[in-house]
Amino acid sequence: MNDKPGGERQTHEKWEGNLERVDLEIVRLAIICQVRLFDDGVLARILDNDNRVCHQDAAHAFESLRGLLFLHFQMQKELAEAFGETDSEQIHQRVWEYLRHRIGDQLGRHSF
């Protein structure tokens, strides 16, 4: 019997939809904070709780953004554990391709 907490019981599509919703909210909060997520060093500064990267006085939005980034990385880890690195990366890339069409480069340049 497999004792994993349930990640493998979700379909690829379910994982993709969940990740897409989290990432879309990350994008929304980054826009509120006027943070260019993909510029060099910005993600690390957010994760280190450096709110000076936020160009707006939006403490609550910054706090939510930081929390959702941690959630995103946790989901990515669980996805890799459930389906393997290759499937995980393919799902992640599909989500970002979808979002890229909606947001363009306003959050900086993201490369795979």
Tens-digit pLDDT profile for residues 17-71: 888 899 899 989 999 999 988 888 888 999 999 999 988 788 999 999 999 999 9
Give 8-19 pLDDT, tens digit per residue.
567 878 888 888
Average pLDDT over residues 85-92: 78
**Structure-model confidence comparison of residues 41 and 109, the more confident one:** 41
Q: Which residues contact 33 (CB under 8 A, 6 or more apart)?
A: 53, 54, 55, 56, 58, 61, 62, 65
In this predicted structure, what is the pLDDT of residue 65? Answer: 94
For the residues of 44-100, what is the DSSP string, one character each?
HHHHTT-GGG-SSS-HHHHHHHHHHHHHHHHHHHHHHHHH-HHHHHHHHHHHHHHHH
79: how many CB neighbours lie within 10 A of its CB?
24
pLDDT for 107? 65
Residue 96 has pLDDT above 80, yes or no: no
